[in-house]
Structure 1
């Protein structure tokens, strides 16, 4: 998950300094991970943002925001993006009981 190492380093530093994790930080981390997942899969498939966005019926800037962790997509939008890339996304909601 490249691209957000600065965020991770900042968060780790804040937690080391004794700052408690804020719900907003946790949500931002989830948004970044989702964006990384979409971007990595798109790149693996050799697709551009413009191609995926057109196939999914969204704008390229909207896809760029999502990949950058700046947007919270609906499940319907994620489904359209997955279909545009002929792939599936598995998303776990809640804590992983195995962890």
Structure 2
């Protein structure tokens, strides 16, 4: 039997799904009961997207090769001018071109 189809793996997947659901619905229930959101909580919630982006980008930047670093730099520059979809397309095109021409 494949390790991905083992009963242990299915239990891990289901437990992860339940934990994810509970954290999401728990946050909604707690904040939904508040009449106003305190300024510190509002500031913390506003910082979440930057923190998530950092946790996704930093490992790829440090573990990736030159092609990934150049593509991320191109995506950053494109992101200053364009919206998300053109930025992703430009970054993807740069990394694919570098991989194609560098062998």
Is the pair's TM-score, using the shorter chain for normalization, greater than 0.5?
A: no
- TM bucket by the smaller chain? 0.3 to 0.5
Query: Which structure is higher in RCO with an 8 Å CA cutoff and minimum separation 6?
Result: 1
Could you state the TM-score of these two structures normalised by the residue count of structure 1?
A: 0.34
Structure whose CA Rg is larger: 2
Q: Greater helix percent: which structure?
A: 2
